[in-house]
Amino acid sequence: MSSLLQKHLAKRSQGVSNGIYSVCSAHPWVIRAAAEQAAEDGSLLLIEATSNQVNQFGGYTGMRPADFRGFVLEHVARAGLDVKSLILGGDHLGPNPWRKMPAEKAMEHAVAMVTQYVQAGFTKIHLDASMACDGDPIHLSDEEVAERAAQLCKAAEAACNPNNPPVYVIGTEVPVPGGATHSIEDLDVTSISAAAHTLEVHKRIFEAHGLSGTWPRIIALVVQPGVEFDHDSVVAYDRKKAKPLADWLRTQREEIVFEAHSTDYQLPEAYKALVEDGFAILKVGPALTFAMREALCALEDMESQLVSEPQHSLLTQTIETIMLREPGNWEPYYSGSPEEQRLLRLYSYSDRIRYYWNHPEIAGAVDKLIANLFKIPISMSMCSRYLPAQYVRLRRKEIAGDPVSLIVDRIRDVLRIYSAACR
């Protein structure tokens, strides 16, 4: 039985160079933007949650898998998107949130988490047991990673609806999710030997665990295509460097594609090239909340000119205060002088600010900004200065002029680029 996603990607074997982008965010405006974009395109919508964001203990969003599903479904309904077009995925599902525990205990939690994801109707599961736990060697062997992935796969199979079983992604990327924290000047593309070994080892060990029947549902292998970003730079996709890996994929009998993580901030032409070269699942996350932050900062600049000073939201000031008071989500990643760190907190491509939007004080400042600008209409000429792409759509009457609609459309600027590359 082929899933929606398998059927979509299977068109590639017929010479259709299509792909799908995966929205990796739990922010309501991002989910709304993604649902509206998919509704307009008449396309599938793939939204994924990570093991740190959403798990049986709530993750950093406070949501369990069933909660996340309900949250997404609300936005899909409002956008007028057919729920049958929605695919929910779980990214990096494995022991990562509990890697400071001994492996046995961490894997117990990982198994429980995967079970809840599948029971909640998530049908794209990234089995990622590559991270070392307490007591493990620094780098696990491919065999150990595959053994743990098989354990997770068994849990998923036991929990799934047999009429709609999940599809799986194996492998992992270096560096960690969310952008690099080290030099990316000498970024290597995954070697053919490494990709082939990962595939061979997983297939052999899955068969040994009685999971050979799931192998046709292994749809993708995570590799490094040579794209990455750090705080203020982006490694652009180089087709020449990736050509050996892309050529190798074309020789494979199994219908798999590559899944590319950290594709944020590439230039538009790079996404089309990635999809053509077999990197048919493109993950995007920080670039979406980065665009959202840009829109909010633009709106705050407008607010400073339209609203009396005592009524200002002080959004940027509030963000800085909270991030300094609670540095856990940025301090390990942003080095440099105090002034350099200040700029990184607001402008870094890695967008660590995304972990703070739910903070009550920051959320309150956002609400005040939106309320202020709902009361005082933003003139077309002012919008032209701060949000020029949205200004054009306003002139064409393609979007509404309220502040939330402007923010959502700015997020869609990123999604439009991905959408164009995947069709």
| 3-class SS shares of the chain: helix, strand, coil, % to 5 | 55, 10, 35
Angle, CA of 23, 25 and 31, to the nearest 5°: 75
Band (15; pLDDT cuts 50, 70, 90):
confident
Residues 383-392: tens digit of each pLDDT: 999 999 999 9
Mean pLDDT score of the chain, rounded to an integer? 95
Residues 125-147: tens digit of each pLDDT: 999 999 999 999 999 999 999 99
Grouping H, G, I as helix, E, B as strand and the rest as coil, residue 58 is: coil
pLDDT tops 60 at residue 164: yes
Residues 205-214: tens digit of each pLDDT: 999 999 999 9
**Residue (of 163, 422, 402, 99) closest to 270 by Cα position:** 422
Q: Give residue 378's region: left, alpha or beta (phi > 0; psi -120 to 50).
A: beta
d(CA 39, CA 34): 9
Q: b vs e for 409-423, b when ≥16 Cβ sit within 10 Å of the residue's Cβ?
A: bbbbbbbbbbbebbe
Residues 414-423: tens digit of each pLDDT: 999 999 999 9
Asked if the domains 4-284 and 289-413 are classified in one and the same CATH topology, the answer is no
CATH class, 289-413 region: mainly alpha
pLDDT tops 50 at residue 178: no
Give the number of C-alpha atoms closer than 13 A to the C-alpha of residue 410, restricted to the C-beta side. 25
| Domain-wise residue ranges, the chain | 4-284, 289-413
pLDDT tops 50 at residue 1: no
**Residue (of 246, 197, 190) closest to 12 by Cα position:** 246
Q: What is the mean pLDDT of residues 210-222?
A: 96
Contact in structure between 116 and 156 (CB atoms under 8 Å): no
Residues 90/278/164/158 CA torsion (nearest 10 deg): -60
Give me 34's structure tokens.
């993604």
pLDDT over 90 for what percent of the chain? 92
Q: b vs e for 43-57, b when ≥16 Cβ sit within 10 Å of the residue's Cβ?
A: bbbbbbbbbbbbbee
Kindly give the pairing relationship between strand 281-284 and strand 86-93: unpaired
Higher pLDDT, 101 or 179: 101
Indicate the pTM of the whole model. 0.95
Question: Which option is the CATH number for 4-284: 3.30.70.260, 3.40.50.150, 3.20.20.70, 3.30.530.20?
Answer: 3.20.20.70
Band (377; pLDDT cuts 50, 70, 90):
confident
Contact in structure between 106 and 140 (CB atoms under 8 Å): no
Contact in structure between 130 and 96 (CB atoms under 8 Å): no
Distances (CA, A) of 147 to 171, 226, 289, 378: 12, 27, 35, 57
